[in-house]
Chains A and B, each alone.
Chain A
């Protein structure tokens, strides 16, 4: 049975696209046929993060308007055979993203045998964000340990609980997961940043992972390779853990404790 997962946050710039790219790559690397859809019509960026921007010919709106077939618009990922990208349109009117259009594309993807359909939501709570979450079975709420991001996450949770198809039809509610990104254990230890326990206590949804603040995320986007491919980095391992937990494994949290650097480390400046 195919699962539709929306990656959303309300607030912009918290790591939705970065997380969508790594999460969908992680699912595909474990052998699951996966597609990741960019819902940010007018401001597409998933193609850049996935490094396929020069291969975009047709997009989501072209398919909705029947100017191209789904097969023509899907881009095969350069790293994983099981992963496909459906880019957003860069120029078209957002209104073209209709509910019936989105529904028929999702149905077609399910019929094509995709196991996981990851919807990368735009920021905000407008039409595009609504379309991304409407058909979701599960939601990954990307949150930074910071007041405006936590508040917006709570807001988007309220919208999922009211406006999603599952909520409207009264079926089993959308399964919610909290993903905390840009986490700095050092600043948490100094009581300068909300701890993951604080964020979880406020939002009251299960935690699927914590991605530490890291330079490697920028390196990854600079090169157009999802951060999960940078083996050995904290961020890649943290995303691997997220994928494992999503698939049902129980893993302890990592990268949440701050260890004071020793004297030698400080002198030689090792990180």
Chain B
């Protein structure tokens, strides 16, 4: 097997990977284009509020906006530190 692949090296087929990655990122960027771009500000304020009451680091707060059909899902994920 090793000899075969040495004699006939196969080049990686990567075009389909490129297409898949592009479809995802472009769909996301197009979604962000239309509506008001409040996510960064919301993110910042959420961090401020949450860290007022808990000792959570900014990296432990993840926020994302996804579209599922006609629904927009705002996903806020906070990892609280061990007490």
Q: Report which A residues bind B (CB closer than 8 A).
A: 146-147, 150-151, 154-155, 158, 162, 188, 190-195, 198, 201-202
Q: Complex: how many Å from CA A198 to CA B30?
A: 18
Contacts of B14 in A (CB 8 A): 191-192
Encode contact with A along B13-25: 1 for CB under 8 Å, 0 otherwise: 1111011011101
Instruction: Tell me the total A-B contact number using a CB cutoff of 8 A.
Output: 44
B26 adjacent to A202 (CB under 8 Å):
yes
- Rounded to whole Å, the gap between the CB of A213 and the closest CB of chain B is 15
A190 adjacent to B21 (CB under 8 Å):
no
Q: Complex: how many Å from CA A34 to CA B68?
A: 48
- Rounded to whole Å, the gap between the CB of B19 and the closest CB of chain A is 5
State which size class the interface on B falls in. Answer: 10 to 19
Query: Across the two chains, which residue of chain B brings its CB closest to A203?
Result: B26
Which of A150, A155, A158, A190 is B13 in contact with, Cβ under 8 Å? Answer: A190
B26 adjacent to A191 (CB under 8 Å):
no
A158 adjacent to B15 (CB under 8 Å):
no
Contacts of A201 in B (CB 8 A): 19
Which of A155, A193, A202 is B22 in contact with, Cβ under 8 Å? Answer: A202
Q: Report which B residues bind A (CB closer than 8 A).
A: 11-16, 18-19, 21-23, 25-26, 29-30, 33
Contacts of B15 in A (CB 8 A): 188, 191-195, 198
B22 adjacent to A158 (CB under 8 Å):
no
A191 adjacent to B22 (CB under 8 Å):
no
Most buried by A among B14, B18, B25: B18
- Rounded to whole Å, the gap between the CB of A57 and the closest CB of chain B is 43
Contacts of B23 in A (CB 8 A): 202
Q: Complex: how many Å from CA A193 to CA B15?
A: 5
Q: Complex: how many Å from CA A192 to CA B11?
A: 8
A151 adjacent to B30 (CB under 8 Å):
no
- Rounded to whole Å, the gap between the CB of B40 and the closest CB of chain A is 18
Contacts of A188 in B (CB 8 A): 15
Contacts of B22 in A (CB 8 A): 147, 150-151, 194, 202
Q: Complex: how many Å from CA A147 to CA B33?
A: 19
- Rounded to whole Å, the gap between the CB of A129 and the closest CB of chain B is 17
- Rounded to whole Å, the gap between the CB of B32 and the closest CB of chain A is 10
Contacts of B18 in A (CB 8 A): 146-147, 194, 198
Which of B11, B19, B26, B30 is A190 in contact with, Cβ under 8 Å? Answer: B11
B21 adjacent to A192 (CB under 8 Å):
no
Q: Complex: how many Å from CA A151 to CA B27?
A: 10
Query: Across the two chains, which residue of chain B brings its CB closest to A153?
Result: B26
Task: Supply 20 further A-B pairs (C-beta < 8 A) apart from A151-B29, A190-B11, A193-B15.
Answer: A146-B18, A150-B22, A151-B22, A151-B26, A154-B29, A154-B30, A158-B29, A158-B30, A158-B33, A188-B15, A191-B13, A191-B14, A191-B15, A191-B16, A192-B15, A194-B22, A195-B15, A198-B15, A202-B23, A202-B26
